[in-house]
Amino acid sequence: NAGVTQTPKFQVLKTGQSMTLQCAQDMNHNSMYWYRQDPGMGLRLIYYSASEGTTDKGEVPNGYNVSRLNKREFSLRLESAAPSQTSVYFCASESWGGEQYFGPGTRLTVT
């Protein structure tokens, strides 16, 4: 049982480049989330998807877009990367019991 998987694990981008972070879960969860983690700031919610076909903004959505491709997959896209988006990105899915399970993260550096 893989749980929540994320690709890639590491990525270096130049300012202005685009990329998509992939996330998949095999636990049949409805709700999925994207967070970013920055030193001294804990994790902050970027976007979420309460169910297949729906997406909503979290507290720091600027510069990002998301796609809930199906129940398993929830991707995060940076259209034009900026140095302020250097961070570690975590995907999570939520069980019926309200517990969120996190993937291993993607460490992104924008130069």
Residues near another protein, by CB under 8 A? 4, 30-31, 33, 35, 40-45, 48-51, 54, 56, 58-59, 90, 94, 98-105
Alpha carbons 12 and 67: distance in angstroms, whole number: 22
Burial 2-11 (b: 16+ CB within 10 A, else e): eebebeeeeb
Q: Which residues pair with 34 in a beta bridge?
A: 47, 91
Nearer to another protein, 17 or 61 (CB): 61
Nearer to another protein, 17 or 101 (CB): 101
Q: Cβ of residue 42: shortest distance to another protein, in angstroms?
A: 4
Nearest in space to 46 (alpha carbons), one of 13, 21, 16, 72: 21
Nearer to another protein, 15 or 95 (CB): 95
Interior angle at CA 68, CA 66 and CA 72, nearest 5: 130
Q: Cβ of residue 36: shortest distance to another protein, in angstroms?
A: 11
Nearer to another protein, 44 or 71 (CB): 44
Q: Cβ of residue 18: shortest distance to another protein, in angstroms?
A: 25
